[in-house]
Structure 1
Amino acid sequence: MALSTQQIRERVAEEWNGIVDLLNKKIALRSISADGIAGDQMKRSAEFVAEMMREVGVDAKVAQSHNPDGSAGAWEVVGSRIVDESAPTVLLYAHHDVQPVPDASEWDTDPFTGTIVGDRLFGRGSCDDGGGIAIHYGTLKALGDDLHVNIKLFIEGEEEMGSPSFIPFITEHRDEFDADVIIVADSGNWAPDIPSLTTSLRGNATCDVTVKVLNHAVHSGQYGGPILDANTLAAMIIASLYDEHGDVAVPGVLAQEPVGGLQQDVDEAGMRKDTGLVDSYKLAGTGSLASRLWTKPSITVIGFDATPVKDSFNIMTPQTTFRLSMRTAPGQDAHEALMALKDYIEANAPFGAEVVVTPLEEGMGWAMDPNSAVTRDALDAMREAFGVDPVNMGQGGSIPFIPELQKLFPNAQVLVTGPEDPQSNAHSPNESVSVSGLEADTVAEAILLDRLSDYSAE
């Protein structure tokens, strides 16, 4: 028999201080994967999370993955709680690694001491993704013996490093991922008090572009004019990637509209404030701001080999390399988009310069099924937990393992949720999570699991 929303809310409230305490302990572990995914700090973090999950009935264990070259990989947490072999199975995902803290002086609080100020809990990993772990833990704690779906668990140890050993690990542990529903608690809400399902993620593809015009450096005064330096030619290439409106102009690189429709556009004033845009800047691109952030492509120069101003003198740069990061529409194959970009750049080399594009990494985007029964149940659960209608949103970033999971388990319904909100500062100084929002997220997931007991794959 299903629990009432009030029963679930009361159970979560009873356990809330303990849930926050565990999140504070997780923050203190300093599980920075950039310091080494196979390091002792990551093993300690994984063991702590496994112990947390054993407290709520999950047969959790720590397993070390292996990179494609066979070297030691991340410390992962996997586990299960089987209540009925005939019941639906839900895979709960989060990650226990966190971003580095390059300069603690930029924080208003100690980044590795959970600190509550008002309604927000500050600390590295408080939202990304300790908050996701707390949601899963709190959900299972609240449901207790009234859990009527089978649980599989995967808490990853290298998400912040791009999940290099994810595919080998999932291949070795395929049975531990097979599920009817997958809940990825690594995204966020429209606002601390307005819930969201993440409807889509853009793909990502990177490449290096090398531009050569001379076999050696020459004097800019003697030869400047008929010969353009490699940096200027590179700038011409970069400028050609966008049209006069600021939309990507590369043939074969596609755009699409927000998945499931647009319930509310992104607030421009809020985005300007959050990003620190200069007042004079006019936003690039056409269409809704949401589509430009979530489902239309973007191409960003993320690296450039150029002489620093302080070291400059009057020579013409003979050769330069810059790196592009292209975010692709959720529905486009990232490799297809990368090849379109490569072909365009190499075919349009300015003034016949030698231009070589070297493809690097690529990862697919993802879009949820907005019409599935699981999606409707999740939205209903959020509505009950928060007391307001959800406002769904896409994400401009990428989580490459989600499309990989979907590829391996095509019949599974994937839901992307999470504790972040526009004030969370994930990856930045003063990372935080809304305490009330985190509690409501936990109530929503518990309601959803309770309602999924009669789910059958469509």
Structure 2
Amino acid sequence: MLLPHPLLAELTEAVRDGMPVAIAELGDLVRIPSVSWDGFDAEHVATSASAVKVLLDGLGVFDTVEISTAPIDDERTGHPALLATRQSKNGKPTILLYAHHDVQPPGNPADWDSSPFEPTVRGDRLYGRGAADDKAGVMAHIAAIRAFVDTVGHDFDLGLVAFFEGEEEFGSRSFANFVVQHREQLAADVIVVADSDNWDVNTPALTVGLRGNVTFKLKISTLKHASHSGMFGGAAPDAMLAAIKLLATLHADDGSVAVKGLTSRESETPPYSEATLAEEAALLDGVSAIGHGSVLSRLWDQPAITITGIDAPTVVNASNTLAPSIMVKLSARIAPGQTAADAYEALEAHLLAHAPFGAHVEISDVDRGDPFLVDTSGWAVAEAKDAMYQAWGVEPLETGIGGSIPFISTLVENFPQAQILVTGVEDPDSRAHSPNESLHLGVFQRAILTEAVLLAKLETRG
């Protein structure tokens, strides 16, 4: 690693002094239930966008700060995003800082130890929906800029772009059109996507591999209408039986994916035991891991299929009838090296070929996102890893991640010369998307300092 940056001590002090404000501002954002999914009040996402705009305006460094939307298609418009720009001067690079201010639905409030939209500090963690994913990413960018400016002043030459999306959790459906609409403003030499995690609370990570995703609704139908289960059960196939049999074909006996045409990737992975998996994934006593190969190859380099929702009669409303149709939500993670389009074709072919009893299968509401592998040969990766080392005091790891950030492939397509850095403020216990989502405040502080150091390094880069 390189020698400590000349401004490291001053930046460290600025970040430390700014933490109470950063945590308070993050808490204010967490209180806004900015769920971007259909069926939730879109006004909350607009309120969140307005709150973030106030924070960006308050930095006093951007030439323009705007709230903007883009079309999804001819009939729908995406949720509001923030776009702030500052032109570079004297040949300095431009860095684009990405995060998203929308959040996942909270789920059942009873599963939370505190209210999902009331930020709560317990120990060294801040709990709340979006506290980690990804309002912490928004605030890490804002706090890093603030510490950088407190240290070097407002008269700097580095170009800055802040792009805070408002619908990442709902598939970034207007993202491609937004990029086209704002291509000139979004152009940058380095793009930092703060929406990933770290190896643990003491070890930083730069994400270099991401799985892609394919999600869709799957309807399985066998009857024109519900029928008496006593009168016709045993001869007439109901949709629940057909759905169970069809979904069971997606996996082999060891739990690995059994869909012909979904591919895996070979790569070396760091040591990571099944005992660590059991702890971090919260396996119940006696429940074993699934799949084959190293644990991290299963998470980073192999496909996975999860049924994330089922529309069926509830137990309390169950009657003695054969169900005519069952609807499920299928989420597939795609290994790097395969396109989401090819993966969807494989999934579609499998489901149609394995539908039992001649059941009718309908697929709708399809979303696709390609996997991504970071080119680690560029100078920006070296600068980012050095900034991590200086902020954390520990050598960073290059890691994959089982999750997906589909829009990165759109950035690469539109800005092929830009270097992509995927960072984050999460750790293995952040529980993003789950009840009791939380942010480790020490990780938050070190992530802010990492980015402040990176900004200072780019400011002095020739």
Of the three residues 58, 62, 70, the one matched with 1:58 is 62
CA positional deviation for 1:92: 0.4
User: Between the two proteins, what is the percent identity of the paired residues?
Assistant: 38
How far does the alpha carbon of each residue in 1:107-130 deviate from its partner, in whole angstroms, 9 at most, with x for none? Answer: 444544444333222333322222
Shift of 1:71: 4.5
8 Å contact 1:94–1:129 — kept in the other structure?
A: yes
- Across the aligned residues of Structure 1 and Structure 2, the Cα RMSD in angstroms comes to 3.0
Alignment of 1:300-311 (within 5 A): 300-311=306-317
Cα 1:309–1:140 change in 2 (3 A) is closer
**Residue 366 (structure 1) aligned to one of 354, 363, 372:** 372
CA shift at 1:410, angstroms? Answer: 1.5
Q: Which of the numbers 126, 134, 138 marks the counterpart of 1:129?
A: 134
Per the alignment, residue 185 of structure 1 pairs with 194
Q: Distance in 2 between matches of 1:37 and 1:61?
A: 25
**Structure 1 residue 369: deviation in Å?**
1.5
Instruction: Give SS of 1:73's match.
Output: coil
* Residues 1:445 and 1:44: Cα distance change in structure 2 (over 3 Å): same
- Closer, same or farther: CA 432–302 of 1 in aligned 2, 3 Å: closer
Q: CA deviation at 1:173?
A: 1.2
Q: Give how far 1:333 is off.
A: 0.7
Distance 1:246 1:36, change over 3 A: closer
Are positions 1:75 and 2:80 aligned together?
A: yes
Unpaired runs of 5+ in structure 2? none
Q: Which amino acid aligns with 2:123?
A: G
| 2: CA distance, partners of 1:85 / 1:70 | 44
1:250 shift after superposition? 1.5
* Aligned match for 1:119, one of 119, 124, 130: 124
When residues 117 and 286 of structure 1 are mapped into structure 2, their CA distance, relative to the original with a 3 A threshold, is: same
Residues of 1 paired with 2:408 and 2:329: CA distance?
25
Q: 2:179 aligns with which of 170, 174, 180?
A: 170
2: CA distance, partners of 1:71 / 1:213:
33
Query: Quick one: distance in 2 between partners of 1:220 and 1:102?
Result: 33
The aligned residue for residue 383 of structure 2 is: 377
Query: For the Cα contact (< 8 Å) 2:100–2:168, is it kept in 1?
Result: yes
Partners in 2 of 1:368 and 1:168 — Cα distance?
Answer: 23
Structure 1 residues 14 and 282: CA distance shift in structure 2, 3 A: closer
Residue of structure 1 equivalent to 2:430:
424
Contact 2:387/2:453 (8 A) holds in 1: yes
Q: Which amino acid aligns with 1:138?
A: A
Please give the per-residue CA displacement for 1:30-61, whole angstroms capped at 9, x wherever unaligned: 4444575751x433432332232233312342
Deviation at 1:208, TM superposition (A): 4.0
**Which of these residues, 396, 401, 421, is aligned with residue 390 of structure 1?**
396
Mapping for residues 39-438 of structure 1, pairs under 5 Å: 39=43, 41-56=44-59, 57-67=61-71, 68-69=73-74, 71-84=76-89, 86-101=91-106, 104=109, 106-144=111-149, 145=152, 147-213=156-222, 228-257=237-266, 261-265=268-272, 267-312=273-318, 316-317=322-323, 319-350=325-356, 352-358=358-364, 360-438=366-444
Greater shift in the superposed pair: 117-126 or 312-321: 312-321
Structure-1 residue corresponding to 2:452: 446
Alignment CA distance shift 1:224-1:107 (3 Å):
closer
Number of aligned positions between the proteins: 452
Match of 1:419, SS state, is strand
Residue identity opposite 1:23 in structure 2: L
